[in-house]
Structure 1
Amino acid sequence: MKIPKTKKGLKTKMKLLAAAEKVFGEKGYSDSSVSQITRKARVAMGTFYIYYDSKSEIFVDLVKKLNHDLRKAISISVTGLSTRKEIEITGFKSFFEFLKKHKSLYRIVRQAEFVDPELFQWYYNEISKGYAEGLSVAMDRGEVRRMDPELLSFELMGVADFIGMKYILWDDKLNDEMIDQVMDFILHGLLVHAENSKSLPHNGDEISHRIGNQNIPSQ
C-alpha cells in the first residue's frame, strides 16, 4: 500500500476506499473485483495500482479505516463528558448512528474472518483496547463495579453489536425508546431489585442441582 503524497492523491485514495466499501458490502469479497471498484470510483484501472497491489490489500485497508473512523466518531461524541453514565449513553448512540451510515460494516468485518483471520481479531481487539481503558478509569473513580475491564468491554460491545444487527441492519427500526431500554439494562442490570440477587446461588453446580431436583411433569 502506497501513501499519497498530495491532496489530490489522498482524495483519489478515499474515492477508491468509498467504492470498495460499497462493492464489498454489496457483492462480498469473493465476488468483488478490482475492476468493479475502479468503475464505482470512476478512476482508471491503472490508478488503482498506484495505491494498492491487490484486492486483498485494499480490503485490509478498508477494514482498518472503518475501525479508525468508528473509534474516532465515538471519541469525538464523548469528548467533554465527565461521567461514565454519560459516556456509555452517548457512545452507544454514536455507534448506532455510525452504523446507520455504514450498513455494510457488518458484512465487511465478518468477511475478514475468512479473508484475514488476524485482521478480524485485530478489529475487535482494537475497539476493546480503548474501551477497556476507559472502563478501568471509571472503576478507579468508583463509577463502575470492579471487574475485568477487557471482559466487560466485550460484553458491552456484544450488546451494541447485536442490537445494531437486529434493529438497524435487519429491521431498520431502532428508535430512542429502544435505545433507552438498552441503556437501562446496561446501567441497572437484569434483576428487578438488587436484594433479590442475595437469594440466588452463585455456584453453577448448585443451580444445576436445584434444577435437577425439580419435579418435571411428564408429557
Structure 2
Amino acid sequence: MRSGDDPGGQQAPLTERGARTRERVIAAAREVFEERGFLETRVAHITRHAKVAYGSFYTYFPSKEAVFLEVADRLFEDMTDHDLVPATGPSPAARVRRTNRAYYEAYRRNAKMMAIIEQVATFNEEFQEMRRKHRAVSWGRSAKAIARWQKAGIVPSDIDPEMAARALTAMVDHSLYLWLVQGDDDSHTERLLDTLDALSVRALGLPT
C-alpha cells in the first residue's frame, strides 16, 4: 500500500483505516470527474462526495491533479490488461478477436472517464507521459507476440512488429473512442468489432 502525501511532500504511512479512506477518496474523485469534468472539479466536490473532511484529502494527495493521475493510472491498467495479440489461445486469429472484444468491454466500462482523459491529455504533460508509458507497455507486448509469430512462420517476415502493433493499437483505440465517447450508432457495434477483427487479422496475414 502506498503512503499518503501531505501538502509539504512528507510521506505518511497509512493505517488500515487510512487506506480505506484513501480508496474512498479515489472512488469519489472518479465519480466527480465523470460528472463535472476535470476543469470544473474542485477538491471540495471530491471530499463532499467521499464524505471526508476537506483537510483529510491532503493526507493522501497533494492536489486535484494527483488524485486524477491515480484514477487515470488505474483506468489504464484496466484498459491495457489485455494484449492486442496475446501469446496463447485456440488460434492466432481467434486470440485477436477475443482480445478486441475484451478491450471493447474495458473501454465501454471506462467510456465516461476516457472522455475526461482526452480533455486532460491536451494540456497536462505529466499525464501525457503516463499515458504514453501505458500505451508503450500495451503495444510492446503485442510487438513481441507478433515477432514470435514471425519466427513460427505465421506472420510474414516483412512486417515490422513494432509498427504493426502501434498501428493496430491506434486503429482499435481511436475507433472505440469515436464509437463509445463521441456517440456513434451503437446498434452497429458488432459490425464495427467484426470489421476491426478482420482488419487486424488481415494486416498480420494470419490464417483464418
Given the two structures, how large is their TM-score scaled by the length of structure 1?
Answer: 0.71
The answer (yes or no) to whether the contact 1:109–1:120 under 8 Å persists in 2 is no
Superposition deviation, residue 100 in structure 1: 1.5
Match of 2:41 in 1: 32
- Structure 1 unpaired stretches of 5+: 190-219
Distance across 2 between alignment mates of 1:144 and 1:112: 38
Aligned residues: 186
Match of 2:10 in 1: none
Aligned equivalent of 1:117, options 115, 119, 125: 125
Q: Which amino acid aligns with 2:142?
A: G
The answer (yes or no) to whether the contact 2:88–2:95 under 8 Å persists in 1 is no
Distance across 2 between alignment mates of 1:118 and 1:151: 25
Distance across 1 between alignment mates of 2:94 and 2:48: 44
Pair 1:145–1:46, CA change in 2 (3 A): farther
Superposition deviation, residue 182 in structure 1: 1.6
Pair 1:23–1:184, CA change in 2 (3 A): same
Question: Percentage identity across aligned positions?
Answer: 22
Distance across 1 between alignment mates of 2:180 and 2:54: 35
Match of 1:96 in 2: 104
Superposition deviation, residue 144 in structure 1: 2.9
Given the two structures, how large is their TM-score scaled by the length of structure 2?
Answer: 0.75
Distance across 1 between alignment mates of 2:126 and 2:39: 18
1:182-201 equivalences under 5 Å are 182-189=196-203
Q: Which amino acid aligns with 1:5?
A: L
Pair 1:150–1:67, CA change in 2 (3 A): same
Distance across 1 between alignment mates of 2:41 and 2:89: 42
Match of 1:131 in 2: 139
Distance across 2 between alignment mates of 1:79 and 1:15: 36
Aligned equivalent of 1:144, options 155, 179, 182: 155
Asked if 1:65 corresponds to 2:74, the answer is: yes
Q: Which runs of 4+ in 1 moved over 4 A?
A: none
Match of 1:165 in 2: 177
Report which stretch shifted further, 180-189 or 104-113: 104-113
The structure number with the bigger radius of gyration is 1
RMSD of the alignment, in Å?
A: 2.6
Pair 1:119–1:145, CA change in 2 (3 A): farther
Pair 1:71–1:9, CA change in 2 (3 A): farther
Match of 1:49 in 2: 58
- Structure 2 unpaired stretches of 5+: 5-12, 204-208
